[in-house]
Chain A
């Protein structure tokens, strides 16, 4: 909404407060320093970047099954994406049957370079069409099981064979830590590197921080706030230095000026700073397109534009890290095959996922169930690939944590052949 854009005051304020907080010499010597060593203590495998598209992305208009012909086009009289013809508003062909939404041109280029895997008819097998249940199931990694208390990424961090004491080991970009990251291994939540510093009277910052640290110091039993306070103290010093040194993207990468784009840029900054990052989670919302979804242009096209330009910039910027970073995207469910009265789509089931990185076999992976009446699952695209199959392969093949049975209990993954083992 425009109101936040109207405000320049907060920016000015942040600048003001920034001046006060930036002098890291004010931080006392005893404060926890980089308790980890760059590189050698890092994880052996890829850095994992997980993107959650909240709201239920309409996969049928993202990776368009134009080869279905009327089974696709008749169900979507106003919102369908035209089949590839080279035009600006037509799908970008992948394999003669599927095409990418035209707003995904940056991803199409990555696909052509062999660094994008497209998985279709994928998702979480639980039939819930509730956003909130479907998201929780997906992020806990145990579809249908409400008693799971930890997220799948947290279980990955718990079961890894290596040590990493960096406060930057796992981060969630934004103000709320996603469910997938929750659990006994603490994750850092970070909205803005530039704003991540204690503020107050500049002549008293050190003593204020010292006093706060004392007030939050509760050795036992473990106090949830105390843990977060220790994380703030351990990380802010380094983030202040990072903010001071500034950041310039490489290889001509231009990140969108959106929360998502800026979030990705900060992840790239942390990766290049070698601060011990293993997993980063980003959210991109707005996919609940019940009304005026648009087609080649419109509401969803602008979301896809943000997504694709963000990922395109990230891919370019991290050219030197191409074989060390894997990106995975997911959304809680796809949308109904047929459009509704509001030129939108209601909650559905099967969806598409992307995996991006240097360590994979680019291509389309789909055991395609089809869109005929009989093939649909209660009117929705059926799921033929469990999203955990994809994640398990990334974890075992690239992140190098084979403890998939503990990360996804009671699930036996089916190999997909997407990743090139590291």
Chain B
């Protein structure tokens, strides 16, 4: 077998090796990029937060690793003033379906745009960082695109995903099954006893609970569709069981007979069956382990996690505590590739102390959209891909480089509706070497390898002199892009 591309890489590798730096030629040596073992606290912060901030370092130091994990597992006890303020400023997010519908009809597109910004805003500014990861996980798991369902999606995000993100899976599943957004999106709302619509019943088994190899048949899909006939929704009133549409005949699913003559209760019974099924436990455990531990999912951890799931009636807090305090988790440093949304949020969290975003279109539409992960814009029911393989490609890499390099230029007045005070982000330093170390600390919570430190010093100083003093001019002309380079670097893409 020939891999001709390898020859190409060799070629371009040589070209990159002979870099010209300033006045002289320097040969770039080989170096291991992720060789350095991270401190456990940094690893925990890397995974529990959406990007490490100096405050987070202080907190985990004060609380200890387990204390910090427990704190984050109890979001209701975490003060969240910036989010409270955001919600107070946008009361429509707390309104009824009727309120949301009215707001959307008065200003078409406004609620849609707010929903997207709200997603980003909470990931950037909330103190409940792990909770926001759970929200992201379930948003993908019970994926519903916002297109055509703006009102229902806003309600679903709040009353299904956010309400139960760290609660019990059983309640989350039921809330989702009765959510108008889901009922409309997967067409159960229009299914009836004459010609059942199988869309929801199939994805319920395949994506929401048992998993595609969870032991059900095509016949089961058809029978589940019959059980769920009549589960529909009415505008603004929400979920409704319509007995006229329901099939009252006998059904058999997964070997269990559902006798004739029963209405909504057989659907409730079936959802309970699913929520406590060993295949569901294994599937949810597998997906959580892939999300929070590694794309190379450790089989031992999936097994023990599914046991915890079953023993605790799907208590997601217990399940997450098990995963986050496991040896497998602690060993999986830098194994998750930041998806576009996560990369953008991490960039904004770095800049946050000096950042003033007056127009959310800048992060959302100018930068995130070309990266291919607008919130709530994945159309198929399986949610945005989780594993790195789907995201590592030229378009994705270039668009995140551009976001990393362009966003800090807010400090140089590039955007009318977004400003950035870099002095609030990066403290003053005496020398160029110190500046690189300080910015590495701010962006990565640690150092880069010596070779990369040299590259960055060469970026700041023509002669690569780490002792050159950091003047005001240098800060004004190079600091924003130095931040950009570190946020565009390979270090920042993994966590």
Q: A residues bordering B, Cβ < 8 Å? A: 1-4, 6-7, 9-10, 13, 17, 28, 30-32, 35, 54-55, 127-133, 158-167, 169, 172, 174-177, 182, 184-192, 195-201, 204, 207-208, 210-220, 222-236, 285-286, 288, 290-291, 338-342, 344, 346-347, 378, 406
Contacts and interface: CB of A to CB of B under 8 A. Distances in A.
Contact of B395 (A164, A190, A201): A190
Given A32-B12, A198-B402, A132 B7 contact: no
Given A158-B2, A190-B395, A32 B191 contact: no
- Secondary structure of the B contact surface, majority rule: helix
B394 A232 contact: yes
A344 B188 CA distance: 12
Interface stretch (B254-262, B309-317, B364-372): B364-372
Interface in B362-412: 365-366, 369-373, 379-380, 382, 385, 388-399, 401-402, 405-406, 409, 412
Contact of A346 (B3, B198, B361): B198
Given A30-B19, A165-B4, 7 more contacts: A3-B112, A30-B18, A54-B380, A212-B485, A217-B17, A232-B394, A342-B190
A394 B90 CA distance: 57
Contacts of B28: 214, 217
Given A201-B409, A215-B489, A217-B16, A175 B187 contact: no
Contacts of B18: 30
Contacts of B396: 175-176, 189, 228
Contacts of B484: 200, 208
A54 B388 CA distance: 21
A232 B397 contact: yes
Given A54-B380, A211-B458, A218 B31 contact: yes
A164 B113 CA distance: 45
28 contacts: A2-B109, A4-B365, A7-B361, A10-B361, A10-B366, A32-B16, A131-B382, A132-B380, A133-B212, A165-B5, A175-B399, A184-B3, A185-B4, A189-B394, A189-B396, A197-B398, A200-B481, A201-B480, A207-B459, A217-B13, A219-B30, A220-B30, A224-B392, A227-B9, A228-B393, A290-B197, A340-B191, A378-B218
- Of B1, B197, B394, most A-chain CB atoms within 10 Å: B394
Contacts of A10: 361, 365-366, 369-370
Contact of A344 (B12, B187, B401, B489): B187
Contacts of A169: 5
B109 A229 contact: no
B19 A175 contact: no
A6 B110 CA distance: 11
A184 B401 CA distance: 24
User: Sorted from nearest, which 10 A-B pairs have the closest CB atoms?
Assistant: A175-B372, A189-B393, A165-B8, A1-B147, A341-B195, A200-B405, A342-B190, A290-B199, A32-B12, A189-B395
B485 A211 contact: yes
B33 interface: yes
- Of A3, A4, A286, most B-chain CB atoms within 10 Å: A3
A340 B197 contact: yes
A226 B490 contact: yes
Contacts of A215: 452, 455, 485, 488-490
B110 to A, nearest CB: 10
B267 interface: no
Interface in B110-145: 112-113
B392 A225 contact: yes
A300 B393 CA distance: 31
Contact of A35 (B2, B11, B20): B11
B187 A342 contact: yes
- Of B21, B31, B405, most A-chain CB atoms within 10 Å: B405
A169 B409 CA distance: 35
B218 A129 contact: yes
A360 B191 CA distance: 44
Contacts of B370: 10, 175, 191-192, 195
Contacts of B228: none
B327 interface: no
Contacts of B39: none
Contacts of A4: 365, 369
B202 interface: yes
A344 B198 CA distance: 11
A291 B190 contact: yes
Contact of A230 (B16, B30, B109, B481): B16
A17 B414 CA distance: 11
A210 B45 CA distance: 31
Nearest to A172: B393
Nearest to B21: A210
A236 B199 CA distance: 42
A347 B405 CA distance: 45
B194 interface: yes
B176 interface: no
A215 B16 CA distance: 11
A13 B366 contact: yes
A199 B402 contact: yes
Contact of A340 (B196, B481, B488): B196
B86 interface: no
B2 A163 contact: yes
A28 B212 CA distance: 51
A99 B3 CA distance: 44
